[in-house]
A and B are shown apart, each in its own frame.
Chain A
Amino acid sequence: MQWMALDTWIVVVGALCAMSCALLGNYLVLRRMSMMGDAISHAVLPGLAAAYLLTGSRDSVTMFAGAAVVGVLTALLVQGLYRLGRLEEGAAMGVVFTSLFALGLILLRQAADHVDLDPGCVLYGAVELSPLDTIRLWGWDVPRAAIVNGATLACNALFVLLFYKELRLSSFDPALATALGINAQVMHYLLMTLVAATAVAAFESVGSILVIAMLIVPPATAYLLTRRLGVMIGLSLVLAALSALLGHLSAITVPGWFGFSDTSTAAMMAVAAGAIFSVACFAKSCYAWGRRGIERMSFSLRSVGEDVLAALYRRREAGDEAPVSAGALRAALARPGWTALALWDLARRRAVTRLPGGYALTPAGLRQAEELVRSHRLWETFLVNIAGQSPADAHGSAMRVEHVIDAAMQSELARQTGFPELDPHAKPIPRGSSSGGEP
């Protein structure tokens, strides 16, 4: 592999284009209109073709005008079919963009005699060739595509900065936005126009695949990783640029592994974005599973430890203050797994001490056990007196719930059950340390 200045320009063009798409794409993903991006980037085709046919020129102004008109037209037609035709939104989109795209293909074929633009180019563009078409700017030979896409990115950034809070509000709650005097409809059409213009700017250099991919994939990846809009936008821009870099790298390296020279850079950029998404999705799921598993394990360990404390307390309550062996404890527990580990943990925390005959509660352990048994018996009382359960059912539930009752819940339970002395099984409820609120 040989990296040349050419390659740098290809990556720069790709990255600029990807970033300008991703910037707007954030709002499409948030508004659940991702497929609208797909629809518009297909539908601008007749706008382009008509602009060529009408003016016979390929200059940018005509193209942007054509695209803007068609972008708004698409959005209007979809809305119209949805409202007037009572079609489901997805179906309305499907009808509109396929019809427009078909029309665009025919027009393009008519225009093909005058301009060199073929449908294939529309799909995957020619980002590889973009560095060849340069403009001299401040003594530099800058590719025209870089300037066009850079300008689009600047335009989109300006739009997002200017209307940041309006866009945010109308994405999350269009009704509230309207109530506050922000015209959500206008924001919608502005956004659609910009998407169309961005699609046109990107068309020539990278083609429509990359437009659709970059509109949706980097923002969706960012959406997975964060819940804050500002972070999401920033992250999506970084991911878009990264996709461009990785895409070009893999376009010139990966085919080599299979005996090919290279392949379409734009297509590989889309694949790279997809790969990044998959990795993010997979890593996030793994992380969530792992964290949940560790939490569950530590909770189980704590539960067993608490069960041990409660068992020791109950023996003590029954008048048997002798130390208890680990084996006897294991037999007394409903879930005896990990008892040894739990005992070690309790000993480490100085809640139990190891005596010659087995384990016994320390004063600290006794306090903890009292809290626990208090929670248990209060919960039983609550279930029986307030929720109408039978005392037999209540015990099983309390065995589970006692581990999650915190101080606030415990005092609330005590208050609601009227600060009882005895639980439904006529066992005394220990006074907790935090329960001084009794009248």
Chain B
Amino acid sequence: MGDSLTRLLFLSDYNTRVVVAGTLLFGAGAGLVGTFLLLRRRALLTDALAHATLPGIVLAFMLFAALEGGGKRLPILLVGAALSALVGMLAVVLIRRFSRLADDAALGIVLSVFFGLGMALLGMATRMETGHAAGLSSFIYGKTASMLLFDAVLIGVVALAVVLGCLLLYKEFTLLCFDSDYAAAQGWPVLLLDILLMFLVVTVTVIGLSAVGLILVVAMLVIPPSAARFWTHRLSRTLMISAAVGALSGGLGAGASALAQDLPAGAIIVLVAAALFGFSLLFGTERGLVKRAREAARLRRRIEEQHLLRAVYELLEGGKLGSAPNFPDYPLMFPPSTPKLGADPNFPGQEGVPISALLEARSWHPRQLRRAMRRATGRGLIAVLPGDACTLTTEGWNEARRVVRNHRLWELFLITHADIAPAQVDRDADRIEHVLDPDMIRKLEALLPAQTAGIPASAHELAGRGGAS
């Protein structure tokens, strides 16, 4: 075992080296073609095509076994596979054209019936005296170990041709997948392009059969591009990453299956791809779950903080200082030299608000409130006063004014421009206000010309005092 591992790591075995290289190239080709296939929304077509290759493989084998006595020559089998995949595709098109069945049913019918036919033929072929039909089943689960040197080279060369084809037709395929109507309007032969794409798909599927097997070859066209979508929003990079994921899983998988001869190679290759997919799903820099969860958490924290600031502000506003005439016009720029409250006797937040009142003002859980307060205190927006009360610091005051202003502008907009009853407004405003950017605020101000400066009064009864009075 140890010996074979080192042999593998250094790819000292020429045969292994070629097989790994061939599978690697196949993975890259499948990743490229698969990207376009996925964008054309035909991901599962490959599954049907791959299953439909079986009758062709077995028929080619039987024919040549009968003619020359030994039919297990890869190129011949692959030609048979490709022809039968094309017949399968034609069947899908015919079913779609001549029946009112949906796409999925057409795919399922072709997949199962062709595969059944292939198995039935295989059942006969294994009872043939000539040839070694038993080896045919390696096309079902894939077996890199049984690959001859010539086979690996063949696969590599064809895969390289597929890669080149994809690169040459990059622009055309992009247009086809993005907006086929526009392509047709510009005079591109959309049908021909579709046929070319499907031709590449069939080619890559067929060369993948001997490495991955026909049940799992669809994985190599679907998993790499799906993984790539988590990393980028650009097509060129999607293609590169998808090809890389495909190549990596092909190469690694083929290498690993050289180690574990008794495990089906296709399964190993697909599991490597699945692992890479899982990693991308979690850590992808563009759509990865971790990134999105962190963004969501950040937004939630910001919303909590803004709710807290607004609640404190509104309680202050509604308290005894609410009647103070200078309250709304208190300068936005509090002197920065005042580090803490207390220095300025005019500061309206001198008294602070009891936490119990805060709890009542919004329907939050005590733990949630405590967490938000701890965070806001840490950021220097809120100061805790003795006697279970808290108040805004200078920065907190400025921030609260900004938040409250946005909230009320949005409320006013909803009432005056969107015809929503004032009682409902609070909830609607709550959701949007947190994502208002300066541009939108300017627009709001323009829409509500009376409100360019200062903080508009709340449009509805505030919870803190409304209930009391």
Contact = CB atoms under 8 A, between A and B. Distances in A.
Interface of A: 29, 32-35, 37-38, 42, 81, 84-88, 90-95, 98-99, 101-103, 105-106, 109, 119-120, 123-124, 209-210, 212-213, 215-217, 220, 223-224, 251, 255, 258, 260-264, 266-271, 273-274, 277, 281, 284-285
B116 A209 contact: yes
B316 interface: no
B277 A95 contact: yes
Interface in B88-145: 95, 98-105, 107-109, 111-124, 127-128, 137, 140-141
Contact of B41 (A90, A98, A215, A263): A90
Nearest to A99: B274
Given A109-B262, A120-B137, A216 B109 contact: yes
A220 B108 contact: yes
B71 to A, nearest CB: 15
B267 interface: yes
Query: Which of A37, A42, A106, A267 has most B Cβ within 10 Å?
Result: A267
Interface in B227-284: 229-230, 262-264, 266-268, 270-271, 273-274, 277, 281
Decide if the interface of chain B is mainly helix, strand, loop or mixed: helix
Given A119-B140, A267-B123, 17 more contacts: A35-B47, A35-B108, A42-B215, A85-B287, A88-B43, A98-B223, A102-B266, A102-B271, A120-B137, A123-B140, A209-B115, A217-B108, A264-B120, A264-B122, A267-B122, A270-B117, A274-B114
B371 to A, nearest CB: 25
A274 B108 contact: no
B113 A277 contact: yes
Interface string B147-182: 000000000000000000000000000000000000
B120 A102 contact: no
Contacts of A81: 281
Contacts of A33: 104
B105 A216 contact: yes
Given A209-B115, A281-B98, A88 B38 contact: yes
Contacts of A87: 226, 229
A403 to B, nearest CB: 29
Query: Which of B103, B122, B123 has most A Cβ within 10 Å?
Result: B123
A16 B66 CA distance: 38
Query: Which of A260, A268, A269 has most B Cβ within 10 Å?
Result: A260
Interface residues of B, number: 63
Contacts of A271: 113, 116-117, 120
B447 interface: no
19 contacts: A35-B107, A38-B47, A88-B38, A91-B38, A91-B225, A95-B222, A95-B226, A98-B215, A98-B222, A99-B223, A99-B277, A102-B267, A102-B270, A209-B112, A261-B127, A263-B127, A267-B118, A267-B120, A285-B98
Contact of A38 (B108, B141, B225): B108
A90 B43 contact: yes
A88 B41 CA distance: 7
Interface in B194-227: 215-216, 218-219, 221-223, 225-226
Interface in B62-102: 95, 98-102
B11 interface: no
Query: Which of B107, B137, B221, B226 has most A Cβ within 10 Å?
Result: B226
B289 interface: yes
Contacts of B137: 120
Contacts of A35: 44, 47, 104, 107-108
Contact of A220 (B101, B270, B271): B101
B289 A84 contact: yes
A103 B230 contact: no
Contact of B111 (A99, A212, A281): A212
Nearest to A227: B100
Contacts of A109: 262-264
A213 to B, nearest CB: 4
